[in-house]
Chains A and B, each alone.
Chain A
Amino acid sequence: MSTANPAITADAVAARGPRFDVKWLIVGVCVALTLYLAVMPLGFLLWQSFFTPQSAAKAAEFTLDNYRQAYASEETWTLFWNSLQFAVGAALIAFVIGTGLAWMNERTNTPFKGLFFALSVIPLIIPGILFTVAWILLGSPKIGLVNLVLQQVFDTDAVFVNVYSLWGMIWVDGLHYSPVAFLLMTAAFRAMDPALEESAVMSGASVPQVAARITLPLVWPAVFATVLILFVRAIESFEVPALLGLPVGIQVFTSAIYQAVHRYPSQIGLASAYATTLLLITTAGVYFQSRLSSQGSKYATMTGKGFRPRTIDLGRWRYLTTAIFLVYFLAIVVLPFAVLLWSSLQKFYAVPSMEALSRLTLDPYRTILSYPNLTRSVWNSLLLALGSATIIMLVTSVICWIVVKTRLPGRWLLDNIASLPMVFPGLVLGLAIMILYLYLPIGVYGTIWIMLIAYVTRFMPYGLRYNTTSMLQIHKELEESAAMSGASWTTTFRRIILPLLKPGLLAGWIYIVIVSVRELSSSILLYSPGTEVVSILIWELWENGQYVELSALGVMLILALFVLVLAAQWLGRKFGIREA
């Protein structure tokens, strides 16, 4: 072999110098953006909780007063106790309902099983605030339909149900999150090898014995993880405590934070101290839940064989399960929507009667359509939803490429940081971002940009998750073969990776659009006149007591979200098939 200096090509020379590569620019920008969005608000929130408010006269000083004030007072312990009762109660209600339904759906021959899956999208279609309002119309002591019907049936004046109570809050929130439990537990039941149950049946066990001694112990890790997720969701939820708890003085952390900010003068330090506590609770919840999920392999019973389990014949009992299902469907879909629809067709809210029936009108729709803020809020909502969905999906596709496809050191850290906003309750994130941009004079405070930042931060983990699932399915060689064909990294990313990610990108994009449209708890601390979104408009209508207009807007919003969800499912099916 000749060792004489071979001619070096232009390429080789170019590679020798510090050649500018667009790849590192894109990667750098995406990583920097992620780190900034996920870490900065948290830092400022913690900082704020240890300092006195900054004013023109006095600079901020270090203090422990916020915590002292927060924890010395009797009130805080009531707050803590209320939050705990509320979150545990709602989580258990949601879990019991969801698990029962999942078991009925997966393991028994209950009729109408086809309808079950339609349930899983309910919390997406009916935003929390509308669900809560609908249940006020159903369960309030004075005008609640449930009470009125029962009072007529039993001919008394007794109040049967009262949603303005801790139990009412637990019931409404638990009901709203029960489809989440249903979905998670369905997945757990499906992951279990039916042969394990069948062999118990063959050993002579009865249906309840199988459920108690085989099925439940096997899905135990999933049970615990599900309860934790529900607990975190419940302790984060804002609509139910604000609408049902505040009028009767039942405070939990989220509503207390909201009140501390909205008091005059606003007590941001105190709110930050509450928020920090809430953040600690949710962090612990999410941490244990992810620990459980990662060590779940010990219990993993999946065999990879897609056998549909033999369902248990319930015999006559199946009429009971059908009835349970129908009652549930009524409580979660039919009644809330019906009561909103009814109220949207009245001039002033009135309980259903023959007389009221004769006064049906479309006036609320006319009023709301000519409502001064409507066009602007719809426009803002759309802009924020489309903008945040697009930004999130593109940025997280790069983040996820780094995490899944490269061997860069510290990539696991990047993954964790990008998932960090998951532990932020919406209200806490709103507070943290508010504080950050109050102090950071870059002119986004009070504009729509601050809300875009909040939405992108809040929903980034969802985008990451959708992209990761798709990215893991892309074989490394598909990318390498593009490089061997002479494509640069940017070309490969644009022409190979993004098209292959398409199913996940699209599904994630639509999901984020939907959750953005419903977003309330972050927006409520960040909006200002001119940057209202639809959910804020609903909130304002509620505060103004304009129930019929609120109902009209709610009905239209639910229908619009319904169409979006249908589109998402249709797209999922269409691209899902091609993927396989």
Chain B
Amino acid sequence: MLFVTGLCTDYVSDRGQVVRAAQDVSFEVPAGKLFTLLGPSGCGKTTTLRSIAGLERPRAGEIRVGNDVVFSKDVFVPPNRRGLGMVFQSYAIWPHMSVFENAAFPLRVASKRISRQELRERVTRVLKTVDLADLAEREATKLSGGQQQRLALARALVMEPRILLLDEPLSNLDAKLRERMRFELKRLQRELGITTVYVTHDQSEALALSHSIAVMNGGRIEQIGSPREIYERPHNQFVADFVGSTNFLEARVLDREGDYYRVSSQIGGMKVRATEPLAQEEIVTISVRPEDIELTETRKDGENAWEGTVHQKVFLGESVDFVVTIGEHQLQCKAHPSLRTRVEEAIYLRMDPEKCVALKRS
């Protein structure tokens, strides 16, 4: 449904410097899917989204919506003719209009005239979808944050856009509300089956909502994949570190063993997985997530098993975080709160080779 190819967008910052915000960004979003651009602030995700919207003019590349080219070397369709819906970070609810008028605006300015009756029906329907039908006549400024967010969504949906663009729509809500709106948004997107591009810096939001995720850094896409792929098979250190927390271990590749590799790491010999083929003697970084390290008070035998000492421990209610020392190296581990090993005591670790991912050095 959406095809972005080789997109490059620069902009001039307030200080007059040219910022390379998006560089050679390419991806496609199949119809009905929710695609997330994830990355730290300044990584170019919002610029990419605004380029799709037509609010920024890219330097190079091509953007296609369905079969229509909306941007290429000599085509630039202005934002008001692209027929895309967008929810802004600030919601951008017009304070001088009622809830109903805000939602009706796209229909009122559309080039295709519709009857008053149809307009009322469509606006009411969309307000019902976001559960605001009762507040239609209220002044838009009298809405709570969550309600404003839903009104912004209603306004973006009312013209039945081909694609819905969401720019950090949950970042202005408090934590509790954010969690609820996350489910709400997911349900709505899945029910309406609307193709959606979602921008966020919050990895848990991205993992919870998306069909697929593009992790961006420094204007480039680092990896595109399903939430599970991104989390379990990161392609490089940046992705592994940005999405969730992880332990990094330096290692040297010894040899290959079927689907696995045997390496010599900072904490000794290990058996690991790799996303790309590795050469012998290659120096790699092993990423192991804290929750993938199994902790026990009894010695375990077999592959990837170590003995360590508890260095620090933090009780978090649903889990306990341990910092375990093996030799001179420290590892973060997450365990069930039933594990009560004390600081300075010995503890035994084991890692599933499947969960130890070898990352190539870049």
Contact B69 A483 (CB under 8 A): no
Q: For chain A residues 456-485, which have a beta carbon within 8 Å of chain B?
A: 475, 477-478, 480-485
Our pick among B5, B80, B84 for the contact of A487 (Cβ within 8 Å) is B80
Our pick among A407, A480, A500 for the contact of B96 (Cβ within 8 Å) is A500
* Residue B106 CB within 8 A of the other chain: yes
Our pick among A9, A484, A499, A500 for the contact of B84 (Cβ within 8 Å) is A484
Contact A477 B80 (CB under 8 A): no
Contact B95 A486 (CB under 8 A): no
Q: For chain A residues 476-509, which have a beta carbon within 8 Å of chain B?
A: 477-478, 480-488, 491, 495-496, 499-500, 502
* Residue A248 CB within 8 A of the other chain: no
Our pick among A9, A478, A481, A483 for the contact of B68 (Cβ within 8 Å) is A9
- What would 13 A/B residue contacts be, using CB atoms closer than 8 Å? A6-B69, A8-B68, A8-B69, A9-B77, A11-B68, A12-B70, A12-B77, A15-B75, A15-B78, A480-B88, A485-B159, A486-B111, A502-B96
B152 / chain A contacts, CB cutoff of 8 Å: 481
Residue from A7, A475, A480, A486 having most chain B Cβ neighbours under 10 A: A486
B89 / chain A contacts, CB cutoff of 8 Å: 477
A482 / chain B contacts, CB cutoff of 8 Å: 80, 94, 105, 109
Chain B positions 108 through 135: 1 when the CB is less than 8 Å from some CB of chain A, otherwise 0: 0111000000000000000000000000
- 9 interchain residue pairs of minimum CB distance: A485-B106, A477-B92, A481-B92, A477-B88, A487-B109, A484-B86, A483-B79, A499-B96, A11-B81
Task: Count A-side interface residues using an 8 Å CB cutoff.
Answer: 29
Contact B68 A495 (CB under 8 A): no
* Residue A16 CB within 8 A of the other chain: yes
* Residue B55 CB within 8 A of the other chain: yes
* Residue A1 CB within 8 A of the other chain: yes
Contact A481 B86 (CB under 8 A): yes
Our pick among B28, B54, B94, B155 for the contact of A500 (Cβ within 8 Å) is B94
A495 / chain B contacts, CB cutoff of 8 Å: 105, 109
B259 / chain A contacts, CB cutoff of 8 Å: none
B70 / chain A contacts, CB cutoff of 8 Å: 12
Main secondary structure of the interface of A (DSSP, over half): helix
Evaluate whether A407 and B12 lie within 8 angstroms (CB atoms) in the complex, with A11-B81, A15-B81 already known.
Answer: yes
B80 / chain A contacts, CB cutoff of 8 Å: 482-488
* Residue B191 CB within 8 A of the other chain: no
Q: For chain B residues 60-79, which have a beta carbon within 8 Å of chain A?
A: 64, 67-70, 74-79
Q: A495 CA to B104 CA in the complex, in Å?
A: 13
Chain A positions 502 through 525: 1 when the CB is less than 8 Å from some CB of chain B, otherwise 0: 100000000000000000000000
How many residue pairs between the two chains, A and B, have CB atoms under 8 Å in the bound complex?
101
**Closest B residue, CB atoms, query A23:** B78
Contact A491 B109 (CB under 8 A): yes
B260 / chain A contacts, CB cutoff of 8 Å: none
**Closest A residue, CB atoms, query B101:** A495
Q: For chain A residues 1-38, which have a beta carbon within 8 Å of chain B?
A: 1, 6-9, 11-12, 15-16
Q: A168 CA to B67 CA in the complex, in Å?
A: 81
Shortest Cβ gap from B316 to chain A (Å):
36
A7 / chain B contacts, CB cutoff of 8 Å: 67-68
Q: A7 CA to B65 CA in the complex, in Å?
A: 11
Contact B69 A11 (CB under 8 A): no
Evaluate whether A486 and B77 lie within 8 angstroms (CB atoms) in the complex, with A477-B88, A481-B88, A481-B92 already known.
Answer: no
Chain A positions 319 through 344: 1 when the CB is less than 8 Å from some CB of chain B, otherwise 0: 00000000000000000000000000
Q: A70 CA to B28 CA in the complex, in Å?
A: 76
Q: A485 CA to B154 CA in the complex, in Å?
A: 11
Q: A502 CA to B94 CA in the complex, in Å?
A: 13
Q: For chain A residues 539-559, which have a beta carbon within 8 Å of chain B?
A: none
Shortest Cβ gap from B307 to chain A (Å):
52
B159 / chain A contacts, CB cutoff of 8 Å: 485-486
* Residue B85 CB within 8 A of the other chain: yes
* Residue B359 CB within 8 A of the other chain: no
Shortest Cβ gap from B107 to chain A (Å):
9
Evaluate whether A480 and B105 lie within 8 angstroms (CB atoms) in the complex, with A486-B110, A500-B95 already known.
Answer: no
**Closest B residue, CB atoms, query A475:** B90
Q: A513 CA to B32 CA in the complex, in Å?
A: 57
Contact A483 B78 (CB under 8 A): yes
Shortest Cβ gap from B170 to chain A (Å):
16
Residue from A9, A407, A481, A500 having most chain B Cβ neighbours under 10 A: A481
Evaluate whether A487 and B105 lie within 8 angstroms (CB atoms) in the complex, with A1-B5, A7-B68, A9-B68 already known.
Answer: yes
Contact A6 B68 (CB under 8 A): yes
Contact A486 B88 (CB under 8 A): no
**Closest A residue, CB atoms, query B53:** A484
Evaluate whether A496 and B94 lie within 8 angstroms (CB atoms) in the complex, with A7-B68, A480-B79, A485-B109 already known.
Answer: yes
A sample of 18 more A-B contacts (CB under 8 A), given A12-B75, A499-B94, is A6-B69, A15-B75, A16-B75, A478-B92, A480-B86, A481-B92, A482-B109, A483-B54, A483-B55, A484-B55, A485-B109, A486-B106, A486-B111, A486-B159, A487-B109, A499-B96, A500-B94, A502-B96
Q: A578 CA to B94 CA in the complex, in Å?
A: 12
Shortest Cβ gap from A407 to chain B (Å):
6
A15 / chain B contacts, CB cutoff of 8 Å: 75-78, 81
Q: For chain A residues 179-237, which have a beta carbon within 8 Å of chain B?
A: none
Contact B5 A486 (CB under 8 A): no
A487 / chain B contacts, CB cutoff of 8 Å: 80, 105-106, 109
Evaluate whether A1 and B68 lie within 8 angstroms (CB atoms) in the complex, with A407-B12, A483-B55 already known.
Answer: no
Q: For chain A residues 391-432, which have a beta carbon within 8 Å of chain B?
A: 407
Contact B105 A485 (CB under 8 A): yes
Shortest Cβ gap from A362 to chain B (Å):
48
B94 / chain A contacts, CB cutoff of 8 Å: 478, 481-482, 496, 499-500
